[in-house]
Amino acid sequence: MTLKKCNFNYCLNINDNKPIILFLHGFIGNIHEFDEAIKLLAEDFSYLTLELPGHGKTEVCGGDKYYKMESTAQAIINLLDELKIDKCYLIGYSMGGRLALYLTLYFPERFIKVALESASPGLATEVERLERVRRDAQIARKLSRSIIETDFAAFLSNWYNQPIFGYIKNHPQYDRMIESRLQNNPQELDKSLRFMGTGCQPSLWDKLQENKIHILLLAGEYDEKFISINTEMAKLCKFAQLKIIKNAGHNIHFEHTLAFVENIKYFLSTAS
């Protein structure tokens, strides 16, 4: 028996044979990323949540290459096979959204419809990718130092100062979210960033025109960077539609859970 290179920590909840949604969290997230949204979706859907390599209790048993997008995507397909899930809906946020898009384009037969929240196809040029790899390496070094200096909380505070997150720090549940984020291991997050960061992943821009699956693109009105990216994606990607969510930044499902769920429900229930 071949040893699995990635042992996912996952939760599968089947609700009366109702369709399954696979949720993929973002960087620094964990298996509880979509808990509040799931509560509102649970009446109509089953769900599968998991922790991506470098996050939570998921274990990578091979080398560093198994943190990469290509290996992670194949490991997810292997998990779906193991769980006997032939087809499902797919929702991905940020890093999880980039991974969800990769899965959509390379394994289209496995997904019914796909929702991408604050996601991108990566970077189009080699120059952009090299610059992003350099920047991500700097962030990774800060993560490594944070565990030595026991200052992971300060790293997270700086992370959420980024303009894409809008007014997330004003959210009444912000401190609870940080407590959840602190359950991650900074050394493992370092590997996730270095091997599945935006600069490291394969660019998917050229494959967007091949897409044949209905995709919902979600971007928050305060997240100008990803509004621009998703506007371009919608132009290139057949069957993609863009919805901009008011009063939200990058993390829509946390800041505006009800609007997120309403859009997801409508999209998944509408005939293709």
Q: Summarize pLDDT for 187-198 with one digit per residue, the tens.
A: 999 999 999 999
Q: Is the pLDDT of residue 144 over 80?
A: no
| pLDDT attached to residue 272 | 65
Least confident of 44-53, 149-158, 232-241: 149-158
The predicted model gives 184-209 an average pLDDT of 94
| pLDDT attached to residue 2 | 44
What DSSP character marks residue 4?
P
> What H or E segment, with its residue span, contains residue 59?
strand 59-60
35, part of any domain:
yes
Q: Given pLDDT bands bounded at 50, 70 and 90, which one contains residue 146?
A: low
| pLDDT attached to residue 244 | 98
Q: Tell me the residue range of the domain where 262 lies.
A: 6-269
- The structural domain count of the chain equals 1
What's the CATH number where 165 sits? 3.40.50.1820
Alpha carbon distance, N-terminus to C-terminus of the chain: 41
1, part of any domain:
no
| pLDDT attached to residue 162 | 95
Nearest to 238 by CA among 212, 204, 217: 212
Q: Summarize pLDDT for 47-106 with one digit per residue, the tens.
A: 999 999 999 999 998 889 999 999 999 999 999 999 999 999 999 999 999 999 999 999
Choice between 76 and 2, residue whose per-residue pLDDT is larger: 76
218, part of any domain:
yes
Taking residue 58's Cβ as centre, other Cβ atoms within 10 Å add up to: 20
User: Kindly report the CA angle at 188 between 184 and 192, in degrees rounded to 5?
Assistant: 105
The predicted model gives 125-148 an average pLDDT of 81
63, part of any domain:
yes
43, part of any domain:
yes
- Tokens read off for 264: 């997801």
The predicted model gives 163-185 an average pLDDT of 96
Q: Given pLDDT bands bounded at 50, 70 and 90, which one contains residue 135?
A: confident
| pLDDT attached to residue 161 | 96
Question: What is the pTM (predicted TM-score) of this model?
Answer: 0.95
Transcribe 173-239 into DSSP letters.
THHHHHHHHTTS-HHHHHHHHHHHSTTTSPP-GGGGGG--S-EEEEEETT-HHHHHHHHHHHHHSTT
132, part of any domain:
yes
Distance of CA 210 to the CA centre of its chain: 21
